[in-house]
Amino acid sequence: MRPEIHARLYGPWRASAPKPERSALTLTAWALWLPTLVAVAGLTLLAAVVAIWGLADGMTSADVASFVVPYLAFLSLGTAFLALLAFASPLRRLTLPARMVALGALALPVPVGVALWLAAQFG
């Protein structure tokens, strides 16, 4: 195709946008969120396995619910707290990677600490 016809049909040629760089903040956010999410997934799996084994062993559903419901409530409240904090005015002024680092630093200690404590207790 001739260049003038191409320009008339599709407009002038523009270079494609460069790929976004992986900044240090992005890598730090990944480093904070990855162990947090792995710990939450492990704790959720543990709660599900304990609930299933409890039901198979003859526990009533009320006994299982007394264990599972507080865990789910704690998980939901933590998620809601982080979501509300993400939209707070001081954090909204930050760039997205900086916001994820701040939220990851707040989210990391509790689930990772509980997972490490459980691993130390029950090996």
Q: At what angle do helices 24-57 and 61-86 cross, to 10 degrees?
A: 170
> Domain total for the chain?
1
Specify if 119 maps to a domain.
yes
- DSSP three-state, residue 12: coil
At 10 the pLDDT is 83
* pLDDT at site 26: 93
pLDDT(100) > 80 = yes
Q: Is residue 82 part of a domain?
A: yes
Query: Does pLDDT of 18 surpass 90?
Result: no
Q: For residue 48, tell me if it sits in a domain.
A: yes
Residue 6 lies in a domain: no
Region 72-98: what's the mean pLDDT?
93
Q: For the chain, give the number of residues.
A: 123
Q: Output the pTM of the full model.
A: 0.77
68 inside domain = yes
Q: Residue 61 is part of which domain span?
A: 40-123
Q: In this structure, is residue 70 part of a structural domain? A: yes
